[in-house]
Amino acid sequence: MTKPSDILLLQQIDHVLVVTLNRPHAANAINLVMVTELVDLLFELHLDPGQTRCVVLTGAGERVFCGGGDMKERGTMTPEAVRRQRGMMEQLITYLQSCPVPIIAAVNGAAIGGGCELVAAVDFAYGADTATFSLPEVRLGISPGAGGTQTIPRACGVRRAMELILTGSPFSASEAHEWGLLNKVVPANELMAAVLEVAHTISANAPIAVRQAKKAVAIAPQTDFNTGFRFELEAHGRTAGTRDRQEAIAAFGEKRKPVFRGE
């Protein structure tokens, strides 16, 4: 999958697509062009992921993952453009949550406001030990608008989310890990290697099985056990008759690694 852009850098590494937010001069802040291109990219992954089996989302440079919304641009936007950007941000968070392909954030630096909400919206995240986080919206006269009031409680618990969102206070990578926002913290110079390792592990698994398992896990916090279990059984049934399942059985008997094709 290719897409010419200087705001989003795309690199396909086997079955892993690395997406880099590329506005280091503006703290990788999300402007209207960036959010539009992210929505377009995720829409294409929904329609047909092609060879992509896992996505890694990161920021350009070493200081900032994403500085949130572009406040400088916001000050010059017409009301129509503001409405469009809000609608696109809503679509972006929805697509991140529902994307059939797993998405991992590699948090290379500060994740501020909407940037922190991106981290909370993806499937899971690794962070550099130098990364920092904050949800400063209430200090700027607004409340979170990129899913943070829903995703942060799910990651960190309601009481911790209340503290983080209502104070707007920054927190460290180690705190983000302790509280559940990050799955792992590694030295900054080892971050991409660590994230690519887990991304390649995911992409080596059966693609249909991964997508079905992702959907089943995602619904768990939203429903009761019995409803979720029925959803799981439906997801499991979708994988049972696939060629990849037959390949796994054959490979087990032949004592070799299976070669999955997403069929």
Active site residues: 117, 137
CB 92 within 8 A of CB 55: no
Question: Among residues 262, 131, 225, which one has the least CA distance to residue 185?
Answer: 131
* Residue 119: other Cβ atoms inside 10 A: 26
Residue 224 class from Cβ within 10 Å (0-12 exposed, 13-18 middle, 19+ buried)? exposed
Give the sign of the dihedral formed by CA 31, CA 137, CA 170, CA 76. Answer: positive
Residue 132 class from Cβ within 10 Å (0-12 exposed, 13-18 middle, 19+ buried)? buried
